[in-house]
Amino acid sequence: MKHLASGRCLCGAARFEIAGEWESFFLCHCARCRKDTGTAHAANLFSSRAEITWLSGRETIKTFQLPGTRHVRSFCTECGSALPSLQLDGALLVVPAGSLDTEVGIRPTAHISYASRASWDDRLDAVEKIDELPS
């Protein structure tokens, strides 16, 4: 199995490598994912074949599953960064795209739960683009 990606949390406590290939890359606009990320959507990569190896910080990872749902979120307890998780009894690896230090290598497959997107998440391509922090 070839090396696919590596990543870490913001503080660097949790580091990982992934071997295998992505099957899909979804941008989820559901209210739960907006709450998780504080943004317009979650950007997650999915694989039933890839394997994750934790290089450090496994003890800093907490996983939360919203009761009565399949909604799962893993994060670093030090800095709060979203981190990969094994879901569906370990059959599915879900990796937040922003947690990767390497290129993702695929384009998003689809926007999902698009009908429930935030009202301000329309026509973002028309919003001014600034390359650095505004002054």
pLDDT tens readout for residues 29-80: 999 999 999 999 999 999 999 999 999 999 999 999 999 998 999 999 999 9
Least confident piece of the model among 5-9, 52-56, 122-126, 130-134: 122-126
CATH of 3-118, one of 3.40.1670.10, 2.40.128.50, 3.40.50.12280, 2.170.150.70: 2.170.150.70
Residue-range domain boundaries for the chain = 3-118
Closest by CA to 113, choosing from 40, 48, 23, 64, is 40
Strand order across the 85-87 sheet: 85-87, 92-96, 42-47, 24-28, 110-112
Strand order across the 61-65 sheet: 61-65, 72-76, 82-83
Closest by CA to 96, choosing from 83, 107, 77, 80, is 83
The conformation of residue 100, written as its DSSP 8-state character, comes to B
- H/E segment holding residue 134: none
pTM: 0.91
